Chains A and B, each alone.
Chain A
């Protein structure tokens, strides 16, 4: 096979989508799952928002301001409202939260998805930047997810809109390809960075991870007697993360990695209680990899008798 032939085969495998309709449903499921996770996260922190983002909260505003990247929207942008006595800071926080929740609701419902995804992203960034000292990985991933909801065709199914946009095979293929490529960047970069140090390869990192004080499901001290298991789990993590790029080219790898990542993230959620981070990643993987057939259609073969008839 020539080099051009190999390149065209790789390119075909890269954009191959066995069932566009299922792929479109997977993208819609991504929208709903991500929206629900972000909504749940917002509700869970609602009562503590004054503590996390207000001017005289646990981390005072100058600290959050200094830690937040420039250009992002933040609560301090609205300080004139409470400086002039028009409204209290506390009330403003909850008005903004209310708007955020409404936007997320319409995003989940799939009504004017692009507009509400953009508005959700704005409020998400506002709350993230206003509490920069306490925002973590799940917030960064949600930012990406909401951005994808603005531009990818995520509202062809499961919407409350009277007329959902028709499934466009090109846009669905491109959308899934973008999601898979993005996740490959996320996982491979994480996997490669882990491989650079010896601790993930020799099981030490896995031991450190399972013995952290946040891990309350059980005492994993018994694993010190089966160190090979720590090495095996460490290598499982490395393979799932660093090998994620295989999903770009192989339909079967997509199925394997879908369950691999599901297992990995459920494990993280159950042990370290990082539920929002894990569910956000699961939502991404549902959008990028799910919608597969349980049984692969085999190539149509012509029975020998028919072949002679044709001949």
Chain B
């Protein structure tokens, strides 16, 4: 086999081996040492660093985010309007990210800031996170039905509103 072809075969063998190593759980995979960090850009640019456990080992609950803004003493629902089903799917992705506690507050704050920026009269915003509870097969047969349940509420307000609230308290 000519040298060029041998090199090509070796390259693909290494690439696929890296794909396997990245797929393995971190407990089983290669130790993430300094050499591994050098490989990270390669993995990012080629997609070799991906994991593919879609809906595994369990199917997670669906999440949704509802935002309400306070305008003239009234809570008004704020709709994040998008123009395509694909964009709507991207909003679902953000909503489902909120199940990760470490970013929940930042994502909620950004969503609230967006709503406050788009609603001139708004002084405060509530970000309500719901999860879709699905009964088991047996529970469903007994008459229970799936539905949205409130999981968490985050409250935000504009700097000016916060300042005036603090002044009023003092």
- Residues of A with Cβ closer than 8 Å to B? 41, 44-45, 47-48, 51-52, 56-60, 63, 66-67, 69-72, 121, 125, 131, 133-137, 140-141, 143-144, 147, 170-171, 174, 178, 181-182, 185-187, 189-190, 193-197, 199-200, 203-205, 207-209, 211-214, 221, 223-225, 227, 230, 273-276
Contact B91 A134 (CB under 8 A): yes
A47→B9 CA distance, assembly (Å): 43
Residue from A70, A140, A195, A196 in contact with B50 in the complex, judged by beta carbons closer than 8 Å: A140
In the complex, are the beta carbons of A69 and B44 less than 8 A apart?
yes
**Interchain Cβ contacts within 8 Å, total number:** 175
A213 and B40 contacting across the interface, CB-CB below 8 Å: no
Is there an interface contact between A48 and B87, defined as CB atoms closer than 8 Å? yes
Q: How many angstroms between the C-alpha atoms of A83 and B9 in the bound complex? A: 47
Question: What class of interface size applies to chain B in its complex with A?
Answer: 35 or more
| CB of B150 within 8 Å of the partner chain | no
Contact status of A45 and B94, CB under 8 A, knowing A190-B52, A211-B134: no
B68-101 vs A: 1/0 string, CB under 8 Å?
Answer: 0000000000001011111101111110010000
CB contacts (< 8 Å) of B82 on chain A: these are: 48, 51
Pick the contact of B59: A71, A125, A170, A205 (CB < 8 A). Answer: A205
User: Residue-by-residue, is B33-68 near A (CB-CB < 8 Å gives 1, otherwise 0)?
Assistant: 000000011001111111111111111001010000
- Which residues 119-144 of B have a CB within 8 angstroms of A? 132, 134, 136-138, 140-141
Residue pair A213, B62 in contact (C-beta under 8 Å): yes
A59 to chain B, nearest CB (A): 5
